[in-house]
Amino acid sequence: MNKIFVVGTCDTKQEELSFVKSELSRLGASALLVDVGTRSQRSVADVSAQAVAASHPLGRTAVLGLTDRGEAVKAMGEALIAYLASRDDVGGIIGLGGGGNTSLVTSAMRSLPLGTPKVMVSTVASGDVSPYVGMSDICMISPVTDIAGLNRLNRVVLRNAAHAIAGMVAHDSRAAEAHELPAVGITQFGVTTPCVDELRRRLADSRECMVFHATGVGGQIMERLLEGRMLQGLLDVTTTEVADFIVGGVLPCTPDRFGATIRTQAPCVVSCGALDMVNFGPEETLPSQFRRRRLYRHNPQVTLMRTSPEESSRIGAWIAARLNLCEGPVRMILPEKGVSALDAVDQPFYDPVADRALFDAIEGGLRTNSHRRLEIAPFHINEGGFAELVCKRFFEASAVSASRGVLGYGQEAQQHQGGLSCT
Contact 333, 316 (CB under 8 A): no
pLDDT (tens digit per residue) in 148-175? 888 999 999 999 999 999 999 998 776 6
The dihedral through the CA atoms of 313, 361, 380, 371 has a sign that is negative
Which amino acid appears at position 251 of this protein?
L
The domains located in the chain, with CATH, are 3-175 (3.40.50.12020), 178-421 (3.40.50.12030)
pLDDT in tens, 380-412: 999 999 999 999 999 999 999 888 775 555 444
pLDDT at 312 over 70: yes
pLDDT in tens, 134-153: 888 999 999 988 888 889 99
Q: What is the mean pLDDT of residues 107-119?
A: 93
pLDDT at 95 over 80: yes
pLDDT score of 385: 97
Q: How many angstroms separate the CA atoms of 29 and 128, rounded? A: 31
Q: What is residue 381's predicted lDDT score, i.e. its pLDDT?
A: 98
pLDDT digits (tens, 9 = 90+) for 327-383: 999 999 999 999 999 999 999 999 999 999 999 999 999 999 999 999 999 999 999
pLDDT above 90: residue 40: no
Please report, as a single letter, which amino acid is at residue 165: I
pLDDT of 419 > 60? The answer is no
**SS3 sequence, 318-349?**
HHHHHHCCCCCCEEEEEECCCCCCCCCCCCCC
pLDDT band for position 228 (cuts 50, 70, 90): confident
Instruction: Say yes or no to pLDDT of 190 above 50.
Output: yes
Element (H, E) at 18: helix 10-26
Question: Per mean pLDDT, which range of 44-53, 176-185, 295-304 is the poorest?
Answer: 176-185
Q: Say how many CA atoms lie within 13 Å of 109 toward its Cβ.
A: 32
